[in-house]
């Protein structure tokens, strides 16, 4: 109970720390902003190749630039939700600071949640930047309910965070070589419809296309595009919404259980701070 009361203060502690560390590397920030602008500009020119060729079957892809930018913005956020938790443990382990943080009256789940807070702040900023650059420089317009899109974003991020907890548990025990990161990192770009419609997979890749159905980003991305690009409402997007809720209901308790076991194992082996 006390931990819960102190959680905002602790999250603030990590945010303030990471902000200080962040401003000590200013150059990195400016280069990243430039790289987002570079990607958006490149996609704008690629989208010009498809002017007049867009297949009308794929309603979300009538403006491919809008679809790509939404895909990249959302993927960036999803991947943060997934990877930041495991990275939080790994980074503190590698810096050698995990032990001193764990010596304070703070539990490991709080450390993980709080130390990934800055990653979410950054991801929010850079995801917004993809959409903002598209809107301000290349006339990409978004319609529909932004609050409904936000629900999809949060829900998918939570599902991915559950997988992130599994990944953090893996990092705690095996230290490196996380299979979740490989599966989701490579898998999402290919199978979740970031760069092309998932319908094409069904037509050309046969049974392999089934992978897209088990990846949470597929549903999150589909829902967000339906809302922001096609302007669909709550009823029309209920199917991906329910799918994500079911995934969350299964994955969250399971991942927390696995995480508890991983922490106990690391403490037993004395390998909590090893990397």
Partner 1 sequence: MVSRGEDTTTTTGDRQITKLPDEAPVAIAVDHISKTYPTPFARLKAFFRRKSKPPVEAVRDVTFNVKRGEIFGLIGRNGAGKTTLTKIIATLIQPTSGAVLVNGFDSVQDDEAVRSQIGLAGAEERSFYWRLTGEENLLFFARLYGLPDRVSKERIADLFARFELQEVARRRFGELSTGNKQRLAVARALLANPSVLLLDEPTRSLDPLAAARMRELIASLARQDPPATILFTSHNLAEVETLCDRVAIISKGELKAIDTPFSLRALTSDSERVHLAVAGLSKVTIEGRFGREVKSWIVKPTVSGVEISFDRRRGDTKLDAAIGLIRENGGTIISIESERPTLLDLLESFEAEEETSQAVSGNRR
Q: In terms of CB distance, is 28 or 147 closer to partner 1?
A: 28
Considering only 1, 4, 9, 27, the residue that binds partner 1 (CB under 8 A) is: 9
Q: Select from 40-48, 89-97, 208-216, 218-226 the region that touches partner 1 (CB under 8 A).
A: 89-97
Q: Does 141 bind partner 1 (CB under 8 A)?
A: no
Shortest distance in whole angstroms from residue 110 CB to partner 1: 9
Q: Select from 20-28, 147-155, 232-240, 250-258 the region that touches partner 1 (CB under 8 A).
A: 20-28
Q: Select from 4-12, 27-35, 136-144, 235-243 the region that touches partner 1 (CB under 8 A).
A: 4-12
Q: Does 17 bind partner 1 (CB under 8 A)?
A: yes
Q: In terms of CB distance, is 239 or 269 closer to partner 1?
A: 269
Q: Write the interaction track for partner 1 spanning residues 21-40; mark x where CB under 8 A is met and - where it is not.
A: x--x----------------
Quote the radius of gyration of the chain (alpha carbons, Å). 20
Distances (CA, A) of 55 to 5, 60, 130, 199: 53, 10, 24, 12
Q: Report whether 191 contacts 214 (CB < 8 A).
A: no
CA distance 193 to 180: 19
Q: In terms of CB distance, is 9 or 204 closer to partner 1?
A: 9
Q: In terms of CB distance, is 94 or 249 closer to partner 1?
A: 94
Q: Report whether 153 contacts 161 (CB < 8 A).
A: no
Q: Does 95 bind partner 1 (CB under 8 A)?
A: yes
In the complex, the residues that contact partner 1 under the rule CB under 8 A are 3, 6, 9-10, 12-13, 16-17, 20-21, 24, 95-97, 99-107, 264, 267-273
């Amino acid at each position: 109970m006390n931990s819960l009361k102190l959680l905002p203060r602790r999250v603030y502690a990590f945010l303030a720390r990471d902000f200080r560390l962040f401003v000590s590397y200013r150059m990195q920030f400016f280069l990243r902003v430039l790289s987002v602008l570079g990607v958006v500009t490149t996609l704008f020119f690629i989208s010009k190749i498809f002017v007049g060729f867009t297949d009308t079957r794929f309603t979300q892809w009538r403006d491919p630039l809008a679809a790509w930018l939404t895909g990249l913005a959302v993927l960036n956020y999803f991947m943060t939700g997934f990877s930041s938790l495991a990275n939080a443990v790994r980074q503190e382990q590698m810096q050698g600071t995990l032990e001193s943080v764990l010596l304070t009256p703070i539990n490991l789940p709080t450390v993980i949640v709080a130390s990934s807070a800055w990653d979410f702040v950054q991801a929010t900023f850079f995801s917004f930047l993809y959409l903002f650059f598209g809107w301000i420089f290349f006339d990409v317009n978004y319609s529909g309910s932004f609050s409904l899109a936000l629900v999809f974003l949060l829900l998918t991020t939570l599902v991915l965070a559950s997988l992130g907890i599994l990944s953090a548990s893996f990092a705690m025990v095996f230290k490196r070589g996380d299979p979740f990161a490989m599966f989701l990192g490579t898998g999402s770009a290919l199978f979740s419809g970031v760069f092309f419609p998932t319908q094409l997979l069904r037509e050309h890749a046969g049974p392999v296309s089934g992978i897209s159905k088990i990846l949470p980003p597929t549903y999150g991305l589909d829902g967000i595009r339906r809302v922001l690009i096609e302007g669909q409402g709550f009823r029309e997007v209920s199917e991906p919404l329910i799918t994500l809720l079911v995934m969350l209901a299964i994955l969250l308790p399971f991942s927390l259980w696995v995480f508890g076991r991983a922490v106990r194992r690391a403490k037993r082996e004395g390998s909590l701070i090893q990397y």
